[in-house]
Amino acid sequence: MKMVKAYRIAAVLGLTLALDGCFQPTGPVFGDWTGRQPLISINQPSFVDLVLLGLPGAREGQYQIKANQTDATLSNSGARTLRWSNRWTLQPGPTPDAPQLLVLHNLPNSQISRYVLFGNGVLVPLGKNGQPDTSNYGLQYALKPVPKSNYSYGRV
Look at residue 138 and tell me if it is in a domain: yes
Look at residue 79 and tell me if it is in a domain: yes
Look at residue 54 and tell me if it is in a domain: yes
Look at residue 14 and tell me if it is in a domain: no
Q: Is 119 left (phi over 0), alpha (psi -120 to 50) or beta?
A: alpha
Look at residue 16 and tell me if it is in a domain: no
Look at residue 86 and tell me if it is in a domain: yes
Domain count, the chain: 1
Split at pLDDT 50, 70, 90, the class of 37 is: confident
Per-residue pLDDT reduced to its tens digit, 85-125:
999 999 998 788 889 999 999 998 878 999 999 999 999 99
**C-alpha separations of 139 from 60, 116, 133 in Å:** 25, 12, 7
Instruction: For residues 154 and 156, give the distance between their C-alpha atoms in angstroms, rounded to a whole number.
Output: 7
Per-residue pLDDT reduced to its tens digit, 77-92:
556 788 999 999 999 9
Nearest alpha carbon to residue 145 among 124, 125, 122, 118: 122
Look at residue 15 and tell me if it is in a domain: no
Look at residue 1 and tell me if it is in a domain: no
129: domain CATH number is: 2.40.128.640
Per-residue pLDDT reduced to its tens digit, 44-79:
668 899 999 998 889 999 999 998 876 656 555 556
Which residue range(s) make up the domain with 113? Answer: 27-145
